[in-house]
């Protein structure tokens, strides 16, 4: 069971992460808000509930870079002053993660379908060096359409890379519509099991579910894939669960709506810990 104090800290950090990247998007009138909201809890738990020094995090869905930058700022890796350069000229905090510029970002990502392959290579290297470190790879569900993702999955299973933890942001939307309309993925859990993974399906916005998955992963004899059921644009009630949340920037009224909703959500979650 996830201890209340740790759960409360994770909720506080996720709230801080969301407020920060929403401000980043609003300041430069940028889109990709929805994809950051869907993976905010995933990145928060990985970095503050699972990650240990020497581990790597690969955000394959690089269009959610603001969420990653905000998590790294929360961890003190990126200076808060630098956050203000997001999306601007001569910044390292570009629309997609750069490489060799920011500690904690090992690869440039955003060309979808490559992140899991990068994680597989790192996982094999650490295994050959007998390094007891993990590689966390967060992919979108839409990029599972890419053949390179399945090739990486076969590679990970073949080499028994239990040090690779694959987390899938399963918000069931991609750039052109619903994932099941564009290219059917279901039954995704059974497909991944057939490829040799220990598969868990969890609520991707619930820290208790992540903690349970972490406990199970530690006992698994197979590589782990965690299907995180999420909502694109979570708490952005105007566009929650809609493709529009992927592209649209926030006008003043929309920024007010989503920030008010994440405040309410945070308060409700903290209150539930006291019941």
Give per-residue pLDDT as tens, 80-114.
999 999 999 999 999 999 988 999 999 999 889 99
Measure the CA–CA gap between 72 and 192, rounded to whole angstroms.
30
Q: 202 pairs with which residues across the strands? A: 228
pLDDT band (50, 70, 90) for residue 192 = very high
pLDDT tens for residues 31-79? 999 999 999 999 999 999 999 999 999 999 999 999 999 999 999 999 9
Tokens standing for residue 177: 């519509």
Range 4-272 has CATH code 3.40.50.970: yes
What is the β-pairing status of strands 198-203 and 135-140?
A: unpaired
Give me the residue spans of the domains in the chain: 4-272
What is the β-pairing status of strands 224-229 and 164-170?
A: parallel
User: In what helix (H) or strand (E) does residue 143 lie, and over which residues does it extend?
Assistant: none
Beta-sheet strands, E only, within the chain: 56-59, 135-140, 164-170, 173-174, 177-178, 198-203, 224-229
**What is the pTM for the complete model shown?**
0.97
């Amino acid at each position: 069971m996830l201890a209340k104090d740790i759960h409360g800290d994770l909720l506080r950090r996720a709230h801080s992460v969301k407020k920060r990247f929403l401000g980043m998007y609003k300041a430069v009138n940028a889109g990709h808000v929805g994809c950051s909201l869907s993976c905010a809890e995933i990145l928060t738990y990985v970095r503050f509930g699972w990650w240990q020094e020497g581990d790597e995090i690969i955000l394959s869905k690089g269009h959610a870079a603001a969420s990653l930058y905000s998590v790294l700022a929360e961890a003190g890796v990126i200076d808060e002053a630098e956050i203000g350069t997001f999306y601007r000229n001569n910044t390292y905090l570009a629309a997609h993660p750069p490489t060799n510029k920011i500690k904690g970002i090992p690869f440039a990502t955003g060309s979808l379908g490559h992140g899991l392959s990068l994680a597989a290579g790192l996982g094999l290297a650490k295994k050959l060096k007998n390094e007891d470190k993990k590689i966390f790879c967060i992919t979108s569900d839409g990029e599972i359409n890419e053949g390179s993702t399945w090739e990486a999955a076969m590679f990970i299973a073949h080499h028994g890379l239990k040090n690779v933890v694959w987390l899938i942001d399963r918000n069931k939307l991609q750039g052109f519509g619903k994932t099941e309309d564009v290219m059917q993925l279901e039954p995704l859990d059974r497909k991944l099991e057939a490829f040799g993974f220990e598969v868990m399906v969890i609520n991707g916005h619930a820290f208790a579910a992540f903690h349970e998955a972490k406990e199970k992963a530690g006992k698994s004899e197979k590589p782990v894939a965690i299907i995180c059921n999420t909502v694109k644009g979570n708490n952005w009630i105007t566009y929650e669960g809609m493709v529009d949340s992927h592209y649209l920037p926030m006008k003043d009224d929309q920024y007010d709506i989503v920030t008010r909703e994440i405040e309410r959500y945070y308060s409700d979650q903290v209150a539930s810990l006291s019941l």
